Amino acid sequence: MNDQDLKSVTKLKVRFHECDPLQIVWHGNYFKYFEEGREDFSRRHGISYLDAKKNGFATPIVKTECEHKLPLEYGDDFQVETFFVNSEAAKIIFQYRIISSGKLICTGQTVQVFIDKNSELVLNNPLFFLDWKKKMGLIK
């Protein structure tokens, strides 16, 4: 995660039903925030799970991680920073950073793979994904 990376910033506010009896956001809900960041990234940068679908691929999540530094509470404003990791592997890797009032709340990562119409794992990057990378200046 560095600021030269292709990224997006999504501004959100903690909702009441996302908090648990400890008065903080329940840990599993951060993956909802990461998803909102990822969707927002996809809309802004012109790529989405619907593009993959249109091209005959599913892109299931195969790995998720989150490291918590500080809690968020009901009503807190925060931003999800979503970074695209330009990997050579046939994977879609995003890293996330959640910031609130200038403080680091958590970091995270999701890894997606490509599955073709026969439910087989795709070992090389699909063309539509390489085209998108070229368009974004990530590869030549």
- Interface with its own copies (CB under 8 A), residue from 1, 54, 67, 104: 67
Bridge partner residues of 115 (DSSP)? 58, 121
- Out of 27, 54, 103, 134, the only residue in the binding site for its own copies (CB under 8 A) is 27
Nearer to its own copies, 4 or 118 (CB): 118
Q: Please report, as a single letter, which amino acid is at residue 134.
A: K
Q: Least distance to its own copies from the beta carbon of 137, Å?
A: 26
Q: Are 62 and 112 in contact (CB under 8 A)?
A: yes
Residue 71 as a binder of its own copies (CB under 8 A): the answer is yes
**Close Cβ partners of 18 (under 8 Å, ≥ 6 residues apart):** 25, 26, 29, 32
Asked if residue 101 binds its own copies (CB under 8 A), the reply is no
Give me the amino acid identity at 131: D
**Cα distance between residue 94 and residue 64, in whole Å:** 10
Task: Tell me which residues touch its own copies (CB under 8 A).
Answer: 15-17, 19-24, 26-29, 31-32, 35-36, 39, 49, 58, 60-68, 71, 74, 110
